[in-house]
Amino acid sequence: MPIANIAALGTTRKMLGFSRSTVEFEGATIADLLRQLPTQDGRALYDTLVCNGKLRPDFAIVVDGLSLRTDELDKQLQGGEQVVTMAIIRHLAGG
């Protein structure tokens, strides 16, 4: 089974209950990985971050430095990737 190195920031850190973890998972896509990450409330992270098969616009996932588009949840993972999950903070003041 492939492994992924997860870094969870902000809200997703609190959902998952860890900030860094190496996770072994079944399957080959980001969606597969998210389905196998349990959150503190018992659901999978996928259920919180994904709506109608797309990543919700309030969240971001970065794989090896590249931010995924909302429709890229079927992106294939080879194993060993660095995956960052985070909530987007829109109110970063500045003008």
Partner 1 sequence: MATTTAVTPSQGRWIPSTCGMCLHGCGIKVYVEKGVALKIEGDPTNPDNLGKLCPKGNAGLARLYDSTRVLHPMKRTNPKKGLHEDPRWVQISWDEAYEIVARELGKVRRDDPRKLLCALGDFQRILFWGWPAVFGSPNFFTSLGNYCGGSYHPVNGSVDGSFASINDYEYCNYWIQIGSGDGFSSHLHLSGSAKRMADARMRGMKVVSLDPRCSIASAKADEWIPIIPGTDRAFVLGMAHVLVHELRRYDRAFLRDRTNAPYLVNDSGDFLRDAAGKAQVWDLSANIPRAWDEVPPEFMALEGAFFHDGMTVRTGFQVWKDILSENTPEKMAEVTTVPAATIRKIAKEFVDAAQIGATIEIEGKTYPYRPAALNYYRGSQSHGNGLFDNLTFKLFNMLVGNIDVPGGHLGVPLDHRGFFVSPGEDGMLKPEPHQLHPGPVFKYPPDSSHLMEWFPIGFDAGQLNAETLLNPERFGLNYRPEAMLIYHSNPWWNMPETDKIEQIFQQMKFVVAIEIQETESTQWADVFLPDQTFLESTLLNCLEPPAVTGHSLRQPVVKPLGDTRDAYEILTELSERMGFRDNWNDLLNMVCGFTANPKYLLDPDKRYNVEEFWDVYARSVYGEERGLDWFKEHGHAVRYRTPAETYMAYGSLRIPFYFEFIKRTGDEMRQKFSEVGLKDWPLDNYQPLPFWKNSQVLEDGKAGYEYFAITFKESLHTFADTMVMPWLSEVSEKDPVHGGILINSITARKLGFKTGDRVRLTSPAGSIDGGVQVVEGIHPQVFGVSNAITRNVVTNKRVKTRGTHFNRLLTGSMKYTDSATGGLESTARVRVERL
**Lookup result for tokens 């970063």:** 92
| Of the candidate residues 2, 10, 23, 68, the single one contacting partner 1 (CB under 8 A) | 10
- Mark 57-86 with x for binding to partner 1 (rule: CB under 8 A) and - for no binding: x----x--x----------------x-x-x
Question: Can residue 88 be called a binding residue for partner 1 (CB under 8 A)?
Answer: yes
Please give the residue ranges that form the binding site for partner 1 (CB under 8 A).
Answer: 5, 7, 9-10, 13, 19-20, 57, 62, 65, 82, 84, 86, 88-95
